[in-house]
């Protein structure tokens, strides 16, 4: 399924802001983390309808992904 591009961009912005708020990092750091993540790629490509998940779920995914990268897995 393909999401409306404008709605998808707004979703990206909300997820980035929520990630920054939850982790205490700057918006620039959150932006960098988001656009380098597999979560972003899945949302962008419409794989498994990741873009339909709640903002909080996606923030959890970003945090989990960052934690996995930090452990070298």
In this prediction, residue 30 carries a pLDDT of 97
Between 58 and 3, the higher pLDDT residue: 58
In this prediction, residue 63 carries a pLDDT of 96
Q: Residue 71 pLDDT > 90, yes or no?
A: no
Convert the pLDDT of each residue in 9-66 to its tens digit: 999 999 999 999 999 999 999 999 999 999 999 998 888 788 889 999 999 999 999 9
pTM, entire model: 0.88
Give the start-to-end residue ranges of the domains of the chain: 5-68
- What DSSP string describes 2-68? ---HHHHHHHHHHHHHHHHHHH---HHHHHHHHHTSHHHHHHHHTGGGGGGS-HHHHHHHHHHHHHH
């Amino acid at each position: 399924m393909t999401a409306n591009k404008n709605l998808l961009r707004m979703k990206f912005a909300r997820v980035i802001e929520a990630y920054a708020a939850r982790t205490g990092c700057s918006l620039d750091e959150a932006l960098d983390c988001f656009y380098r993540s597999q979560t972003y790629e899945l949302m962008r490509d419409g794989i498994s309808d990741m873009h339909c998940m709640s903002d909080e779920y996606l923030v959890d995914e970003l945090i989990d992904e960052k934690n996995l990268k930090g452990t070298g897995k």
